[in-house]
Structure 1
């Protein structure tokens, strides 16, 4: 699931309108609509605020948001899978 899809799912399940969340994020409704459709990327601060507004788990939203960014960065690279494996090894080394 992509970030925008998750935001739309949460918003609709709570009966909120795009314009309500857009106002809270201090952006216009068309821009919020683009975030939901995946045509525009939300900023990290917006993700954090959306988690609060939608009573969602911040860690889950950040994970989905970050995954979307990584996919956008590497999706057209022939070595994407191998690069991600290498990056994961480095991340795991740094965690210990």
Structure 2
């Protein structure tokens, strides 16, 4: 699931309108709509705020948000999967340090 899809699902489950969340984030409703559709990327601080507003795990939401950003960068590359595997290996090594 992509970040925008998750936000929409959580918002609808709680019976909230886009304009309500947009106001809480201090952005306009069309911008929020674009974030839900995946046409625009939310700022990191908005992701944290949304997790709180929607009572959802912040790390899970940040993971979806970051995944979308990574896909935007690498999806058109032929060696994307290999690059991601290399990055994962490096992250695992660095986490142990």
Q: TM-score, normalised by structure 1?
A: 0.99
Cα shift at 1:2? 0.4
User: Hey, what does 1:59 align to over in structure 2?
Assistant: 59
Secondary structure (helix, strand or coil) at the match of 1:16 reads: coil
* Aligned alpha-carbon RMSD (Å): 0.4
Match of 1:93 in 2: 93
Deviations 1:20-47 (A, max 9, x none): 0000000000000000000000010000
Q: Does 1:35 align with 2:51?
A: no
CA distance in 1, matches of 2:34, 2:82: 31
Matches within 5 A, 1:62-81: 62-81=62-81
TM-score, L = length of structure 2: 0.98
Q: Runs of at least 4 residues of structure 1 off by over 4 A?
A: none
Unaligned runs of 5+ residues in structure 1 are none
What displacement does 1:74 show? 0.1
1-side partners of 2:45 and 2:53: how far apart? 12
Unaligned runs of 5+ in 2: none
